[in-house]
Structure 1
Amino acid sequence: MLADRRTGMPVRRGPRVVEAAVPLLGEQAQTEFFAPQVEVCTRPTATLAVLRSELALLRRVVAEDAAGEGCLLVATSTPAVPPGPPLTVTPGERYERTAGRWSSPVGRYDRMVCGCHIHVGVTGHAQALALANHMRPWPPALQAIAANSPFSLGWDAGWASHRSVEWARWPGVGPAPLLDEAGYERLAGHLVRSGTLLDRRMIYWHARPSEHVPTLEIRVCDVNADLDAVVLLTTLVRGLATVLLTDIGNGRPPALPDGRLHAAHALASHRGLIGEGLDPVRREHVPAVRLAQRLLERSAPGLAATGDLDLAAELFDQLRCSGGGAARQRAAHLRRGRLTDVVGELARTTAAA
């Protein structure tokens, strides 16, 4: 999101910043729902080094264009400092229809959230759904690793990922149900016909088949200023998907009660990597960092197959030592008790990529 250089408040300059970035970045720079937001999109790649380099370039270009508009690019999932004027929805037919129909989630500024969406290539909806079915136990661990939004409404909201709280107000948000392709078609059609959702693009499950590219899309993660955290999340998702592909033909996915999955996600968003988490398969409470370690261990064969195991272990150790994005934001605030310090630290980390 974009923040005022002096006050740290969100500023409505997203369309102008994107317009400045498009000559160099093309469609990789896009506007988002609220005017203080910008989105950057990487191209498909099989190499983490290329992914990291491209992410760094995208952030650098947009940060420079934001500076040209007198503001800061801040990779965080909720605004730490409340805005002055009310936020506005970016002009566009679909955004305006969404805002008109779901005015409650849109109506207040603290509903503005930024997520990190990770796409894994698949052969089609059938494979995407099969992967999503087998992946259901693991998004809470990804959510804990990614937690980077403790501040909202100008104060510490008490959640490591307050984005998760605000995002859950939207229809269609939550763990993916167990579905095959025929079941997905029936459910998606019903949700749109009944008016529950505007269209299929509003299926906001934590893991969903993309409707515009042949991928499984993981949508549970906060955006992080620390680019190493983004790379870690990406490589864990790919490593896990690689492992789970072999499971698809060897057995049924774990049948997890929705209540237990919701409880695991609630703990992950509340505590992040600090404190207790819930293993939804073993039905046991363990330190959240241990759940993240189990995800790394489960993904290890897939990470080894692409030569990324050592890098993932190194990045995980770094994250474990720092406590994650939410802990770093709270540490920045603790020094002087100023939310502008949080915004400044986030902007510096974003630009340092």
Structure 2
Amino acid sequence: MPTVNLDTAPPQAPPGLLTIGVEEEYLLLDAVRPEAAPVVEDVMDRVSPALRASVQHEYFRTQIEVAGPPVVDLAELRRSMGVLREGVADAAEAAGARLVAIGACPFTGPDSPVVDQPRYHRMAERFGALSPGHGLNGMHVHVGVADRELAVQVLNHVRPWLPVLHAVTANSPFYRGIDTGYASWRSVMWERWPSVGPTPHLDSYAHYRHLLDDLIASGAVLDDAMLYWYARVSAKYPTVEIRVGDVCPSLDDTMLVAALVRALVGTAIVDIEAGLPAPAVSQQLLAAAHWRASHDGLEGLAVDLVNQRPRPAWHLLRRLVDLVRPQLERHGDLEITTVLLSRLRSHGTGAARQRAAFAKNGALDDVLTLLTTATRGS
């Protein structure tokens, strides 16, 4: 089984092309009982040695995270993520659990203990009642941008489009046994944390660094890694990191989002090099657009940040694809993106699929059976 590791040196991308990598967080559920399973240490012990460097703890013992390698070829990224999903799913089953790509735990039950690491204990002590639960599982897409001044300008340019990607990834409608009325309840819960939200407009990397240092000094943020803006300069890698969405149920969904994110970053770089300013977007309206994405997903309305009016979310997604089409073509991703968009259109977001599965018998077990199968990938 091949080793996959985000810490490997990024490949030398051909001129004009950008590397891409993905991190995904998953929920561990008991294989029999309808409850989260705090068995992450047991699962990690059972992960193949070839994959171990790419698998890590998250905050709670009911979560686990994987990190795919930085690559140029989207097909290679899909292969790596497929190996990781399948390998960790096997380890979870051996530990008496199921690996599920879902944004939030849909079941009731006692809160999970945090993983026994000093940083996590500090977070639990500092943030108190914000902390309990079973974990909120997201997806982070890394696009290679080594120049930090350029990376900050990219953050400014991509801001208006992140609510659209937020809607695409919606995958957590159920929580504590009920339909919350939101497509992404994870997003609502996640925004309780003081450093979560849309990235502000930034003047420079020095401005970015100054804001981050002030947040750390305030106590609202423990360290660089706890800056949870929806887009940031990665604290660990030479990348722009887009971290707005729920973890996607299937590899099809993950690859679609990854392709669109890379193309959006590439489009931003072209605009920056041409001297075009970042779109002027109100921070308050941007927050409202993200709320709408959490509530409706792709199945309802979205906020058009150009004319400040609600529009069908699919209308804005098509506009995004049109905007980034040259970069999809440049990276060789246009054909697969077109296919994956068609599939998404036919079966809906993860939230829509969960609700459809639940509607058949009114059983959350049907939802989890669907997602357990989808998580393994193909």
Distance 1:103 1:22 in 2: 35
Q: Which residue of 1 aligns with 2:331?
A: 306
- 2:161 aligned with 1:138, yes or no? yes
Instruction: Describe the SS at the equivalent of 1:137.
Output: helix
Residue 311 (structure 2) aligned to one of 286, 302, 307: 286
Distance 2:366 2:128 in 1: 32
Shift of 1:89: 0.4
- 2:190 aligned with 1:164, yes or no? no
- 2:229 aligned with 1:229, yes or no? no
Shift of 1:248: 1.0
Q: Which residue of 1 aligns with 2:41?
A: 15
Instruction: Describe the SS at the equivalent of 1:277.
Output: strand
Instruction: Look up the equivalent residue of 1:196 and give its one-letter code.
Output: A
Distance 1:205 1:254 in 2: 18
Structure 1 pair 105/148, CA: closer, same or farther in 2 (3 Å)?
same
Runs of 4+ in 1 over 3 A off after TM superposition: none
Residue 79 (structure 1) aligned to one of 105, 111, 126: 105
Whether the aligned pair in 1 keeps the contact of 2:164 and 2:316 (CA below 8 Å) is yes
Shift of 1:344: 1.3
Whether the aligned pair in 1 keeps the contact of 2:48 and 2:87 (CA below 8 Å) is no
Whether the aligned pair in 2 keeps the contact of 1:81 and 1:340 (CA below 8 Å) is no
Whether the aligned pair in 2 keeps the contact of 1:105 and 1:169 (CA below 8 Å) is yes
Instruction: Look up the equivalent residue of 2:262 and give its one-letter code.
Output: R
The 10-residue stretch of structure 1 (244-253 or 94-103) with the greater mean CA deviation from structure 2: 244-253
Instruction: Look up the equivalent residue of 1:285 and give its one-letter code.
Output: P
TM-score (norm: length of structure 1): 0.97
- The percentage of aligned residue pairs carrying the same residue is 41
Distance 2:121 2:53 in 1: 21
Q: What CA RMSD, in Å, does the superposition of the two structures yield over aligned residues?
A: 1.1
Whether the aligned pair in 1 keeps the contact of 2:299 and 2:348 (CA below 8 Å) is yes
Distance 1:92 1:22 in 2: 23
Higher helix share: 1
Question: Deviation string for 1:101-155 (max 9, x for gaps)?
Answer: 0012113x26x20000000000232121110100010110001111000011111
How many residues align structurally?
350
Distance 1:156 1:323 in 2: 17
Question: Deviation string for 1:175-232 (max 9, x for gaps)?
Answer: 1111111211211111112222111111110000011110010010111121100000
Distance 1:19 1:45 in 2: 27
Residue 177 (structure 2) aligned to one of 149, 154, 157: 154
Distance 2:111 2:188 in 1: 21
Instruction: Look up the equivalent residue of 1:307 and give its one-letter code.
Output: G
Whether the aligned pair in 2 keeps the contact of 1:117 and 1:221 (CA below 8 Å) is yes
TM-score (norm: length of structure 2): 0.90
Whether the aligned pair in 2 keeps the contact of 1:22 and 1:29 (CA below 8 Å) is no
Shift of 1:22: 5.4
Whether the aligned pair in 1 keeps the contact of 2:44 and 2:52 (CA below 8 Å) is no
Residue 181 (structure 1) aligned to one of 179, 184, 205: 205
Shift of 1:9: 1.1
Instruction: Look up the equivalent residue of 2:315 and give its one-letter code.
Output: R
- 2:60 aligned with 1:37, yes or no? no
Distance 1:153 1:38 in 2: 20
Whether the aligned pair in 1 keeps the contact of 2:56 and 2:66 (CA below 8 Å) is yes
Residue 24 (structure 1) aligned to one of 34, 50, 75: 50
Distance 1:19 1:96 in 2: 22
Distance 2:146 2:74 in 1: 21
Instruction: Describe the SS at the equivalent of 2:303.
Output: strand
Q: For 1:189-338, list aligned pairs within 5 A.
A: 189-249=213-273, 250-338=275-363
Instruction: Look up the equivalent residue of 1:332 and give its one-letter code.
Output: A
Q: Which residue of 1 aligns with 2:120?
A: 95
Whether the aligned pair in 1 keeps the contact of 2:85 and 2:377 (CA below 8 Å) is no
Instruction: Look up the equivalent residue of 1:52 and give its one-letter code.
Output: R
Instruction: Describe the SS at the equivalent of 2:49.
Output: helix
Residue 46 (structure 1) aligned to one of 45, 63, 72: 72
Shift of 1:284: 2.2
Unaligned residue ranges in structure 1 (runs of 5+): none
